[in-house]
């Protein structure tokens, strides 16, 4: 009973209660399950260190316990230990290995990338992807590592996988389970069931209010690891529960497209049957009965997976029937018994329950599965624990979510079966269809994301804008397209997209740091300060908010404050590479080049493919006139991001400084070829031509530039210099005076000097005297107290 | 009898900073005073607060020494002085000296203030070349106060260096956002 109570408390997010009860339970029954349960409570209430210490103190044998321990290790940054725990588990039974490997990938990345075993990490990711193509984060991490996983390959459902994936979510159709169970399925099932469980847990409240149910549906949709399918199933489950409850089922329905559609689905998706029997204690009995029948039906083919999935289903049932507490213990106990063993036979449940109509077996099975799956779930994907918890997940989940909802609708339409507890086979077909659509979506997203990560930005934009509108108008997609524009230096477009993201999802923080840099480039200080205030008010614990604040003050030239904020961002999240990069830029602006170097190096340490940091290092070396080093670093940055015209422009200038003017010109030509709108490339090309005495070509270039950027004083300045060299003093003076006019702050001494030297072109000797006279005159002015603007006086 | 015209106040240096043409580098230097009253020392001189001030406590001339770790280009100094609140403590004659160390200082500017009421900008441009001076050390000496006061109050001093702002190439700053957008990768 206590176990049921604990699970119920967990389901209802009443972590204090859950922890309290779990502690009492553990004190009384010092079993491994109780230990696991207690650790789960700790972990879920956001205290991984408690779970960690608890689990460390006791030996863990079951894979789920070990998995939980590994999760805690990862959270606490004890990566080596986490890895060891996982590997130790791998040597265990086959099943656990499969489960672990799937999760291995995720934890592995952290461990391995940090210990530079990138190849192994990539391999683990690949494996986890093959095991469960619904996993998005391994794919994302692979992209980050610079590998280029082929989305078509990855997001592909084999028939087996189809079923296995479909099955766990359903958690009900055991018949399906057996037919599709394979080892791969096994691996996926636990995860799926885990996810499902969680979702079910969340959806358990579906009984309570429609809002809750809706939110649960959402949360269920947000299954970080698995794809939309799980989400859909879960949402279905929650919707089903809603229906069952009959308490304002509308919300659930509206989301899921109608109860009738749900009913046929529920069985397949492990949702409660359509019959709206609200919170009926007999529910469980019925469920168990149905489960019984189902289990018997599937028994023949039931493998461990099945039981797992069923357990997850029963779990959801369990959660749904939260109200009927007394009933809960029963199924829960059953699940308890089966929980630790994935191979628990479903029959365990059935005997305890009477035999009600068919509908109910689903529920009971769900109960069953959910109970066991909670165990598994914890061991597997604790990441999925809080759909709302981890922002990273959220981003992917959002796509999953949106895709889920769309898929749900599609699948609902597709799965419009008779409300009878129909055959599993048609359902599996429908599930497969649904899964296929999910896969197709994931493929597209994967292609777009991968293109972005390899900085193939035009392609990424192209792919992502081709998504259907319901996906396109989500934060994740728009953010990534905005980022693609940002990398292309098309800041206006990027800004437009990001402001759209802000309008749609004002709670989104991922990608806001890119938005803030976009605004910094565009010098929109009002928008930037508004963004900064909003984000820091909303979430003081995310590094993006502090990066935005730092950018805001940097734009206001208050570099000390900006430095403070960037340091705060680093404190909040030491793994956020961009904060280091921005901090490095600030140090460069305050001329503290040593500290800037250290910052950029830190950024590279965190993320090797952070080309901004490589660029920063190159800039510092350029300032220190170490042109060779500068060129090397710029080239490294270019190797990561080959289509950045700004980078090419810098390389061109550095090459020119190294006296490799031809190479410089060629590089600049490349830059202009990639992005003809970049005025600086043309400007530098003109200046190199000028330095090489190719005045006509330079002039032509500059004339073109004048058309593009008519208000830029530098252009006129350079034209003036060219004319001066050509001896056309009139034109030179004219251009210099234009340059002076366009430069309102008048701080450009160079222009003044150029004009000074122009005053007496014939006599160079006199120039000196006259210059000194000029400057002495101005100096006389200076001896008086004057305001800053007097600098303009000439 | 011609009353000397009062020294007009200069613009708020914060405005200057926002233009991006200068940068305050007082934080990169070591500040020391010839004398001060307890509680009215360097911190009060550098705290960005116009209410607090440095009060000297010795004989004239009162000195403020600013020593940099390395040779630094300095474009201007800004001193906040207010006759209305400081009266006889307000400095009236200030001498600015630069050099490599205490024994090597040379006066480059001397200025007289008449009832100042705000920021005084002292531009430190080289006489001949009109370039900002580059030095290890700056010494501000208060030679005389209003009404022949002995000690002096100084509320705030800021030191500015010109910002080169040349991200790439030896060119002056660009003026349009379009250019600046492409200037750097951030």
Decide if B122 and A582 are in contact by the 8 Å CB cutoff: no
**Structural domains in chain B?**
11-180 (2.60.120.260)
A129 φ, ψ (degrees, to nearest 5)? -70, -40
B18, B21, B23 ranked by CB distance to A747: nearest: B21
A717 in contact with B, Cβ within 8 Å? yes
Judged on CB neighbours under 10 Å (0-12, 13-18, 19+), A159 is exposed
Distances (CA, A) of A217 to A133, A475, A491: 22, 19, 37
Q: Which residue of B has its CA nearest to A489?
A: B182
Give the single-character DSSP code of A140: H
pLDDT-above-90 percentage for chain A? 16
Residues 478-507, chain A, touching B (beta carbon < 8 A): 489, 491
Whole-number pLDDT of residue A429? 81
Separation CA B182–CA B186 (nearest Å) = 10
The 10s digit of each residue's pLDDT in A379-428 is: 333 333 333 333 333 334 333 333 343 444 443 344 343 343 444 567 77
Alpha-carbon distance A137 to A143, whole Å? Answer: 10
Of B18, B177, B180, the CB nearest to A557: B18
Adjacent-strand bridge partners of B73: B134
Do B20 and B180 meet the contact criterion of CB atoms below 8 Å apart? no
The token duo for A556 is 């206001």
Mean pLDDT, chain A, as a whole number?
65
Q: Is residue A123 classed exposed, middle or buried when 0-12, 13-18 and 19+ CB atoms within 10 A define those classes? A: middle
Domains and CATH numbers, chain A: 1-129 (1.25.40.10)
Q: Please, what is the average pLDDT of chain B?
A: 86
SS3 B38: coil
Is the Cβ pair A644, B128 closer than 8 Å? Answer: no
Q: Max CA-CA distance within chain B?
A: 62
C-alpha torsion B95→B67→A559→A577, nearest 10:
170
At B62 the pLDDT is 93
Q: How far is CA A83 from CA A115, A129, A469, B94, in A?
A: 11, 19, 41, 69
Compute the distance between CA of residue A655 and CA of residue A669 in angstroms, rounded to an integer. Answer: 13
Distances (CA, A) of A33 to A27, A36, A407, A552: 12, 5, 36, 51
Query: Cα(first)–Cα(last) distance of chain A, in Å?
Result: 90
The single-letter DSSP state of residue B140 is E
pLDDT beyond 90 at A118? no
Give the start-end residues of each E strand in chain B: 22-24, 29-33, 54-55, 62-74, 76-82, 91-99, 106-112, 117-123, 133-145, 153-154, 156-162
Residue A785 and residue B10: Cβ atoms within 8 Å? Answer: yes
* Contact across the interface for B180 and A679, Cβ inside 8 Å: no
pLDDT at B170: 66
Interchain pair B121, A751: CB under 8 A? no
Taking CB atoms and an 8 Å cut-off, how many pairs form between chains A and B?
145
Q: Which of A265-279, A300-314, A332-346, A717-731 has the highest mean pLDDT?
A: A717-731
Taking 60 as the threshold, does the pLDDT of residue A229 lie above it?
A: no
pLDDT in tens, B61-82: 999 999 998 888 898 899 998 8
Distance CA A172, CA B48 (A): 70
A618 pLDDT band (50/70/90 cuts)? very high
Nearest C-alpha in B relative to A782: B123
Strand blocks (E) in A302-343:
none
Residues in chain B: 186
Can you tell me which residue has the tokens 């493929």?
Answer: A443
Q: Chain A closest CA to B35's CA: distance in Å? A: 27
Is the alpha carbon torsion for A455, A461, A463, A467 positive or negative?
Answer: positive
The SS3 call for residue B144 is strand
Backbone angles phi, psi at A420, to 5 degrees: -65, 155
pLDDT digits (tens, 9 = 90+) for A742-779: 876 655 566 666 667 655 444 443 334 444 333 333 33
Dihedral, A727, A731, A732, A733 alpha carbons, nearest 10: 120
- CB contact at 8 A, A791 and A747: yes
pLDDT in tens, B98-142: 999 899 999 999 999 888 888 988 888 887 777 888 999 999 999
Check residues A442 and A249 and name the one with the higher pLDDT. Answer: A442
Sole residue written with tokens 């200068």: B22
A763 touches chain B (CB under 8 A): no
Cβ–Cβ below 8 Å for B167 and A619: yes
Q: Which of B8, B130, B167 minimises the CB distance to A778?
A: B130
Q: Residue A154: pLDDT band by 50, 70, 90 thresholds?
A: low
Cβ separation B125–A680 shorter than 8 A: no
Question: Cβ(B45)–Cβ(B31) under 8 Å?
Answer: yes
Residues of chain A with C-beta less than 8 angstroms from the C-beta of B114: none
More confident residue, B111 or B18: B111
Measured between alpha carbons, how far is A73 from A51 in angstroms, rounded to an integer? 10
Pair of tokens at residue B1: 């009898």
A272-304 pLDDT tens trace: 333 333 333 333 333 333 333 433 433 433 333
Average pLDDT for A775-786: 38
pLDDT at residue A214 is higher than 90:
no
Residue of chain B nearest A586, judged by CA positions: B186
To the nearest whole Å, the CA of B185 is away from the closest chain A CA by 7
Mean pLDDT, residues A365-389 taken together: 37
Record: contact B168-A717, CB cut-off 8 A: no
pLDDT-based confidence at residue A130 (cuts at 50, 70, 90): low
What is the predicted pLDDT for the residue at A784? 38
CA–CA min distance A764, chain B (Å): 16
**Selection from A99, A39, A51 nearest residue A78 by Cα:** A51
What is the structure's pLDDT at A245?
37
pLDDT band at A519 (very low <50, low <70, confident <90, very high): very high
Best of A788, A789, A790, A791 to substitute, by most chain B Cβ atoms within 10 angstroms, is: A788
Of the two residues A378 and A76, the one the predictor is more confident about is: A76
Contacts of A153-158 with C-beta under 8 Å, sequence gap 24+, read A154/A129, A154/A130, A154/A443, A154/A446, A155/A439, A155/A440, A155/A442, A155/A443, A155/A446, A156/A439, A156/A443, A157/A133, A157/A432, A157/A435, A157/A436, A157/A439, A158/A184
Whether cis (ω within 30° of 0) applies to the bond prior to A478 is no
If pLDDT is split at 50, 70 and 90, which confidence band does A163 have? very low
- Which of A556, A650, A709 comes nearest B179 by C-beta? A709
Compare A16 and B24 and report the one with higher pLDDT.
B24
Contact across the interface for B168 and A622, Cβ inside 8 Å: yes
For testing contact with chain B, the best of A785, A789, A791 (most B CBs within 10 A): A785
Both structure tokens of B9: 């106040």
Q: How high is the pLDDT of residue B128?
A: 78
Residue A792 Cα, gap to closest chain B Cα (Å): 13
In the numeric block, which tokens belong to residue B54? 């440095």
What does the pLDDT average to over A97-115? 52
Are A787 and B11 an interchain contact pair (Cβ–Cβ within 8 Å)? yes
Q: Nearest Cβ partner of B121 from A679, A743, A785?
A: A785
- Across the interface, of A522, A615, A786, the residue whose CB is closest to B121 is A786
Whether residue A206 is predicted with pLDDT greater than 50 in this model: the reply is: no
Residue A103's pLDDT is: 58
Q: Do B175 and A743 touch (CB under 8 A)?
A: yes
**Residue A629 clears pLDDT 60, i.e. is over it:** yes
Contact list, A711 vs chain B (CB under 8 Å): 175-176
Given a contact cutoff of 8 angstroms between Cβ atoms, the answer to whether B36 and B55 are in contact is: yes
CB contact under 8 A, A712 and B176: yes
Contact B19 A749 (CB under 8 A): no
- CA-CA distance, B138 to A530, in Å (whole number)? 41
pLDDT greater than 70 at residue A338? no
pLDDT number for residue A567: 94
Inter-chain CB proximity B171 and A714 less than 8 Å: yes
CB under 8 Å to A426, separation ≥6 — which residues? A417
Report residue B65: phi and psi, to 5°: -105, 130
Question: Within 13 A of B108's CA, how many CA atoms are on the CB side?
Answer: 27
**A679 min Cα distance to partner chain B (Å):** 6
To test the contact with chain A by mutation, choose from B175, B177, B180 the residue with the greatest count of A C-beta atoms within 10 A, namely B175
Give just the sign of the alpha carbon dihedral A200, A202, A207, A213.
negative
């Amino acid at each position: 009973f206590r176990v049921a109570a604990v699970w119920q408390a967990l389901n209802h997010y009443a972590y204090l209660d859950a922890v309290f009860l779990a502690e009492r339970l553990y004190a009384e029954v010092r079993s491994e399950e109780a230990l696991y349960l207690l650790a789960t409570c700790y972990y879920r209430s956001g205290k991984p260190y408690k779970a960690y210490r608890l689990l460390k103190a006791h030996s863990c044998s079951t894979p789920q316990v070990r998995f939980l321990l590994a999760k805690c290790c990862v959270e606490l940054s004890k990566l080596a230990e986490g890895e060891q725990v996982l590997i130790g588990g791998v040597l265990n039974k086959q099943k656990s290995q499969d489960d672990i490997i799937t999760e291995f990938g995720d934890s592995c990345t952290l461990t391995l990338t940090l210990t530079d075993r990138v190849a192994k990490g990539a391999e683990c990711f690949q494996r986890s992807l093959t095991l469960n193509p619904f996993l998005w984060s391994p794919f994302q991490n692979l992209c980050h590592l610079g590998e280029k996983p082929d989305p078509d390959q990855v997001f592909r459902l084999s028939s087996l996988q189809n079923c296995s994936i479909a099955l766990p979510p359903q958690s009900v159709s055991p018949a399906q389970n057996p037919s599709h169970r394979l080892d791969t399925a096994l691996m996926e099932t636990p995860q799926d069931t885990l996810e499902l469980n969680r979702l079910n847990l969340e959806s358990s409240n579906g009984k309570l209010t429609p809002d809750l149910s809706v939110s649960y549906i959402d949360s269920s949709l947000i299954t970080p690891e698995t794809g939309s399918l799980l989400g859909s199933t879960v949402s279905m489950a929650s919707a089903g529960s809603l229906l069952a409850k009959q308490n304002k089922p509308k919300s659930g329905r509206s989301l899921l497209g109608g109860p009738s559609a749900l009913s046929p689905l529920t069985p397949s998706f492990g949702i409660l049957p359509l019959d709206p029997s609200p919170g009926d204690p007999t529910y469980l009995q019925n469920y168990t009965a149905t489960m019984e029948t189902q289990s018997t039906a599937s028994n023949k083919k039931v493998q461990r997976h099945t039981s797992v999935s069923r357990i997850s289903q029963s779990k959801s049932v369990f959660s749904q029937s939260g109200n009927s507490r007394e009933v809960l213990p029963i199924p829960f106990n059953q699940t308890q018994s089966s929980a630790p063993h994935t191979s628990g036979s479903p029959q365990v449940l059935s005997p305890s329950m009477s035999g009600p109509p068919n509908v109910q077996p689903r529920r009971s099975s769900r109960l069953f599965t959910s109970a066991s799956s909670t165990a598994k779930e914890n061991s597997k994907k604790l990441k999925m624990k809080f759909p709302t918890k981890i922002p990273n997940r959220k981003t992917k989940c959002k796509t999953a979510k949106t895709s889920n909802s769309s898929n749900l609708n599609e699948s609902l339409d597709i799965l419009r079966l008779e409300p009878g507890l129909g055959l599993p086979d048609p359902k599996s077909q429908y599930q497969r269809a649904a899964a296929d659509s999910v896969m197709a979506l994931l493929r597209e997203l994967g292609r777009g994301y991968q293109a972005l990560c390899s900085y193939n930005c035009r392609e990424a934009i192209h792919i992502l804008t081709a998504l259907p509108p319901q996906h396109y108008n989500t934060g994740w997609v728009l953010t990534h397209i905005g980022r693609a524009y940002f990398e292309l230096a098309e800041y206006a477009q990027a800004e437009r997209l990001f402001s759209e993201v802000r309008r749609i999802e004002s709670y989104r923080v991922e990608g806001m740091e890119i938005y803030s840099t976009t605004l910094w480039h565009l010098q929109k200080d009002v928008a930037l300060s508004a963004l900064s205030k909003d984000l820091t008010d909303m979430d003081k614990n995310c590094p993006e908010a502090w990066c935005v604040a730092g950018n805001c003050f940097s734009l206001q030239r208050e570099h000390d404050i900006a430095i403070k904020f960037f340091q705060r961002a680093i404190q909040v999240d030491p793994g956020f590479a961009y904060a280091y990069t921005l901090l490095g830029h600030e140090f460069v602006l305050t001329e503290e080049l040593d500290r800037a170097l250290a910052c950029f190096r830190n950024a590279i340490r965190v993320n090797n493919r952070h080309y901004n940091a490589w660029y920063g290092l190159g800039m510092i070396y350029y300032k220190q006139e170490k042109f060779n080093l500068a060129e090397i670093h710029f080239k490294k940055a270019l190797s990561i991001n080959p289509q950045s015209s700004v980078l090419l422009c810098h390389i061109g200038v550095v090459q020119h400084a190294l006296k490799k003017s031809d190479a410089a010109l060629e590089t600049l030509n490349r830059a202009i070829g990639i992005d003809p709108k970049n005025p600086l490339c043309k400007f530098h090309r003109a200046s190199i031509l000028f330095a090489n005495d190719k005045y006509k070509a330079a002039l032509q270039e500059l004339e073109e530039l004048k058309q593009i950027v008519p208000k830029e004083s530098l252009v006129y300045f350079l034209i003036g210099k060219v004319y001066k060299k050509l001896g056309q003093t009139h034109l030179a003076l004219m251009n210099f005076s234009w340059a002076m006019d366009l430069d309102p702050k008048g701080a450009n001494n160079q222009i003044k000097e150029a004009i000074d030297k122009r005053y007496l072109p014939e006599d160079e000797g006199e120039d000196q005297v006259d210059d000194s006279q000029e400057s002495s005159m101005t100096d006389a002015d200076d001896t008086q107290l004057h305001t800053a603007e007097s600098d303009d006086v000439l | 009898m011609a009353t000397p015209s009062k020294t007009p106040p200069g613009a708020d240096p914060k405005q200057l900073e926002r233009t991006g043409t200068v940068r305050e580098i007082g934080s990169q230097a070591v500040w020391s005073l010839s004398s001060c009253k307890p509680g009215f020392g360097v911190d009060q001189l550098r705290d960005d607060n116009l209410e607090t001030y440095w009060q000297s406590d010795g004989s004239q001339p009162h000195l403020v020494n600013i020593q940099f770790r390395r040779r630094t280009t300095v474009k201007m100094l800004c001193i906040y002085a207010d006759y209305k609140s400081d009266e006889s403590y307000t400095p009236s004659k200030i001498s600015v000296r630069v050099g490599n160390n205490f024994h090597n200082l040379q006066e480059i500017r001397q200025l007289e203030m008449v009832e100042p009421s705000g920021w005084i900008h002292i531009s430190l441009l080289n006489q001949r070349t009109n370039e900002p001076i580059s030095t290890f050390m700056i010494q501000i000496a208060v030679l005389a106060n209003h009404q022949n006061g002995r000690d002096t109050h100084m509320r705030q001093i800021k030191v500015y260096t010109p910002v080169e702002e040349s991200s790439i190439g030896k060119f002056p700053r660009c003026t349009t956002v379009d250019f600046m957008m492409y200037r750097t990768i951030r």
